[in-house]
Amino acid sequence: MANAHAIGLGKSGIAAARLLKREGWQVTVSDRATSDSLRQQQQQLQSEGIAVQLNYAFTLTEKPQLIVVSPDVPWDAPVLVAARDRGIETIGEMELAWRHLKSCPWVAITGTNGKTTTTFLIAAIFQAAGLQAPACGNIGYAACELALRPGKSPDWIIAELSSYQIESSPGVAPIIGVWTTFTPDHLSRHKTLENYYDIKASMLRRSQLQVVNGDDGYLRQMGLTQWRSACWTTVKGKGQLLGDRAQGVYIQDRWVIAQGEPIVPAAALRMPGMHNQQNMLMAIAAARLAGIEKEAIALAIREFPGVPHRLELIRTYQKIDLINDSKATNYDAAQVGLSSVNSPAILIAGGQAKEGDDILWMQTIKGKAAAVLLIGDAAEQFAKRLQQVGYESYEIVETLGFAVPKAVQLATQYRAKVVLLSPACASFDQYRNFEERGEHFRKLCQQL
């Protein structure tokens, strides 16, 4: 029996291990960490005949024939580089799922920001058309979980793919590839902007049809020489479309026009911000390329409730809107979040800092934030940056537990309309992921 090793005991690693076991592999799954929840997972998987090693750094001494990595495992980790050099097949969990699900048509969404909202919107539209179209990948199900489902395969698979997942899944070739935005992110892993771009571009090149956000400056610049055959989108009217204007999707006279046909009033989407209008256009473009009727598109847009952890209104407390934007894990996403809410706002920011350009975010803070409360490892670094730009209304509070009641107190003091958690940081200094951080914020807000 051939040996396979899955690295990472998260949702993706567990699904990959189960799928490999079903296909007849002898499977081991490992994780560097250990905790009560991981030990519970260990017991469950071992009862299924899957070996689990906790507090374990994978080495090649086991000599597996196949290695499957979770998205958070660096593709250039020395042990994985060594494995590939020795000819050991090494793939991502998404690639494993693709091999079992490629008979289904896929829509794959990537981008620095906006991909989660766009993915949820596309899934909602396809489902409103009566299609079984689950969202998976970076959100929703692990892709291998869909491969494990008994019975009929989905009509479509709507997959959000990070650069990490694309990098380790060179076979994924969707029917429709969507590129939402492109700004510097994950450079500590990908080293250069060009490398980061090329990883994302590789998925679009493998897609039969492409949808590209024509309002993104970098993508628009690259579109003058690449992606000429793509379906381009813009909120700025037909005259600003790139490529074949007859195929484009745009807003004109407050209506969304797709392939020359009015679809839905732009105001039908209840989510705030110009970036969400852009997300809507890309979702509609994908739906039209898939042949979905405009009635289903309009219904889904009107009824779309929004995305958890992305400008999510938790509650209104003493006339103050408490908004969870925990998914804003970089400067650009945080800038978009802050610029989208009513001002003045009390901003909660910080966590595990990323590389990137924070200038526009700092300018938006100066223009819209009455006060900033800083949490996590980045607190001292952000405090120094705020000092450098001449912003003094900040305080280091370290944790969300201190930040939320303090933010409400400051909102009353400054007559601010909004308390916004928009961290501009990863969550791994204090939480397992941005969802856990957002759920903690939700709990604290509901306890007020």
Q: Is residue 102's pLDDT more than 50?
A: yes
Q: Is residue 185's pLDDT more than 80?
A: no
Residues 247, 131 share a domain? yes
Residues 359, 237 share a domain? no
Q: Is residue 314's pLDDT more than 80?
A: yes
Give the per-residue pLDDT at 174. 98
Q: What is the pLDDT of residues 385-395, one digit of tens each?
A: 999 999 999 99
Tell me what the mean pLDDT of segment 85-104 comes to.
96
Tell me what the mean pLDDT of segment 19-24 comes to.
96
Task: Name 49's Cβ contacts closer than 8 Å, sequence gap at least 6.
Answer: 21
Q: Is residue 435's pLDDT more than 50?
A: yes
Residues 164, 129 share a domain? yes
Q: How far apart are CA 226 and CA 24, in angstroms?
A: 43
Residues 194, 174 share a domain? yes
Q: Which CATH number is 398's domain given?
A: 3.90.190.20
Domain count within the chain:
3
How far is residue 168 from each of residues 80, 84, 200, 335, measured CA to CA in Å? 11, 12, 12, 30
Residues 217, 180 share a domain? yes
What are all long-range contacts of 251-260, with beta carbons under 8 Å and residues at least 24 apart?
Answer: 251/277, 251/281, 256/280, 256/281, 256/284, 258/284, 258/285, 258/288, 258/294, 258/297, 259/288
Q: Among 12-21, 32-41, 148-157, 178-187, whose mean pLDDT is lowest?
A: 178-187
Q: pLDDT band at 187, cuts 50/70/90? A: very low
Residue at a domain's end among 36, 68, 87 = 87
Q: pLDDT band at 410, cuts 50/70/90? A: very high
Q: Is residue 249's pLDDT more than 90?
A: yes
Percent of the chain at pLDDT above 90?
Answer: 81
Q: Which CATH number is 45's domain given?
A: 3.40.50.720
Could you give the 3-state DSSP secondary structure of residue 129?
Answer: coil
Percent of the chain at pLDDT above 70?
Answer: 98
Residues 74, 123 share a domain? no
Could you give the 3-state DSSP secondary structure of residue 213?
Answer: strand
Residues 296, 190 share a domain? yes
User: What's the whole-number average pLDDT of the chain?
Assistant: 93
Residues 241, 350 share a domain? no
Residues 278, 171 share a domain? yes
Give the per-residue pLDDT at 290. 98
Tell me what the mean pLDDT of segment 135-157 comes to.
92
Q: Which domain holds residue 428?
A: 312-446
Tell me what the mean pLDDT of segment 305-318 comes to.
91
Return the closest-CA partner of residue 289 out of 215, 190, 212. 212
Residue at a domain's end among 283, 303, 323 = 303
Contact 310, 325 (CB under 8 A): yes
Q: pLDDT band at 225, cuts 50/70/90? A: confident
Q: Which CATH number is 237's domain given?
A: 3.40.1190.10
Q: pLDDT band at 244, cuts 50/70/90? A: confident
Give the per-residue pLDDT at 330. 92
Residues 81, 133 share a domain? no
Give the per-residue pLDDT at 432. 83
- If residue 404 lies in a helix (H) or strand (E), which one and from where to where? helix 400-414
| Exposed / middle / buried, residue 396 (Cβ in 10 Å: 0-12, 13-18, 19+) | middle
Q: What is the pLDDT of residues 350-386, one digit of tens each?
A: 999 988 899 999 999 999 999 999 999 999 999 999 9
Residues 357, 280 share a domain? no
Residues 221, 357 share a domain? no
Give the per-residue pLDDT at 189. 53
Q: pLDDT band at 184, cuts 50/70/90? A: low
How far is residue 68 from each of residues 3, 48, 134, measured CA to CA in Å? 11, 19, 23
- Dihedral, 383, 384, 387, 392 alpha carbons, nearest 10: 20
Q: How far apart are CA 168 and CA 304, in angstroms?
A: 32
Contact 284, 299 (CB under 8 A): no
Give the per-residue pLDDT at 191. 59
Q: What is the pLDDT of residues 329-350, one digit of tens each?
A: 999 899 999 999 999 999 999 9
Tell me what the mean pLDDT of segment 190-210 comes to.
89
Return the closest-CA partner of residue 432 out of 2, 31, 64, 134. 31
Residue at a domain's end among 303, 322, 351 = 303
Tell me what the mean pLDDT of segment 238-264 comes to.
93
Q: pLDDT band at 140, cuts 50/70/90? A: confident
DSSP string computed for 25-61: -EEEEE-S---HHHHHHHHHHHHTT-EEESS----GG
- Which two structure tokens, joined as six digits, stand for 357? 């350009």
